[in-house]
């Protein structure tokens, strides 16, 4: 686990979006002051590609090898950017996070790895497990009374659920109704630049 200070430094370099804890007004003001004070040269093509690759990696909490593998598989598809986005968003931990079952991606990753989540009634412990349209995710019976899920339906800070998921927080139930779509505006991530990095 990265300490807050390290996350702060990474966030100033890659943007607040890579860590949920940095998406605050305080960080935004500090970041704006730092950028105003620092007059840096425009990054080289390599620098721009590296930064975007790191943004994707930290956003989804992936190792270098994991992201490289995802990118390699996606690049073989007709629409690599959409394929990469779909693969990252349809990880079991990403779905648990998007559904609002966890406050951060890291918490969602732990939730899955500790065996709290089921897919079609079967317990899973692999955060990278790829769900499919039609799959149903839930909380294992033995975990339902855990403080992790207490009052989930009543939390006021629950994030908006994407259209490709149907969530019943009171039943701790997630249905995968379709697949995520990709736009750079919505995600804030430019996968094309990531492919540029790996194609050097």
CATH 2.60.120.10 fits 19-32+43-182, yes or no: no
Tens of pLDDT, residue by residue over 68-127, are 999 999 999 999 999 999 999 999 999 999 999 998 999 999 999 999 999 999 999 999
Q: Tell me the domain boundaries of the chain.
A: 19-32+43-182
Task: Check residue 37 and give its pLDDT.
Answer: 53
Chain segment 7-23, per-residue pLDDT in tens: 556 655 666 556 565 55
Q: Quickly count: other Cβ atoms within 10 Å of residue 34's Cβ.
A: 10
> What pLDDT shows up at residue 153?
73
Listed as own residue / partner, the contacts of 20-23 with beta carbons closer than 8 Å and 24 or more positions apart are 20/103, 20/104, 20/105, 21/104
- Segment 13-67, tens digit of pLDDT: 666 556 565 555 665 556 556 555 555 567 799 999 999 999 999 999 999 999 9
Q: Is the dihedral of CA 151, 102, 107, 137 positive or negative?
A: positive
Between 152 and 91, the more confident residue is: 91
Instruction: Report the distance separating Cα 141 and Cα 122, nearest Å.
Output: 11
The predicted structure's pLDDT at residue 43: 78
DSSP, residue by residue, the chain: ---HHHHHHHHHHH-GGG-GGG-SHHHHHHHHHHHHH--PPPPPHHHHHHHHHHHHHHHHT--HHHHHHHHHHHHTSSSHHHHHHHHHHTBHHHHHHHTTSSSSHHHHHHHHHTT-EEETTEE---TTPBP-TT-EEEE-GGGTTSGGGTTGGG-TTPPPPPTTEEEETTTTEEEE-S-----HHHH---HHHHHHHHT-
Percent of the chain clearing pLDDT 90 (strictly above): 68
Q: Is 149 within 8 Å of 130 (Cβ atoms)?
A: no
């Amino acid at each position: 686990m990265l300490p807050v200070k390290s996350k702060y430094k990474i966030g100033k370099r890659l943007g607040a979006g890579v860590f949920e804890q940095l998406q605050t007004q305080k960080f935004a003001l500090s970041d704006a002051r730092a950028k105003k004070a620092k007059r840096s040269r425009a990054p080289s093509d390599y620098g721009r590609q590296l930064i975007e690759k790191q943004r994707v990696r930290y956003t989804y909490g992936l190792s270098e090898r994991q992201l490289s593998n995802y990118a390699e598989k996606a690049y073989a598809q007709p629409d690599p950017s959409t394929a990469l986005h779909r693969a990252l968003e349809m990880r079991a931990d990403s779905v648990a996070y998007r559904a609002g079952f966890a406050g951060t991606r890291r918490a969602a990753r732990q939730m899955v790895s500790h065996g709290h989540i089921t897919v079609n009634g079967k317990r899973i412990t692999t955060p990278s497990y790829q769900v499919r349209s039609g799959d149903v995710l839930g909380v294992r019976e033995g975990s339902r009374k855990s403080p992790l899920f207490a009052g989930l339906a009543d939390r006021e800070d629950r994030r908006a659920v994407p259209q490709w998921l149907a969530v019943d927080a009171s039943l701790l139930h997630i249905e995968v109704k379709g697949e995520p779509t990709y736009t750079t505006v919505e995600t804030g991530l430019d996968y094309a630049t990531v492919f540029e990095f790996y194609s050097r």
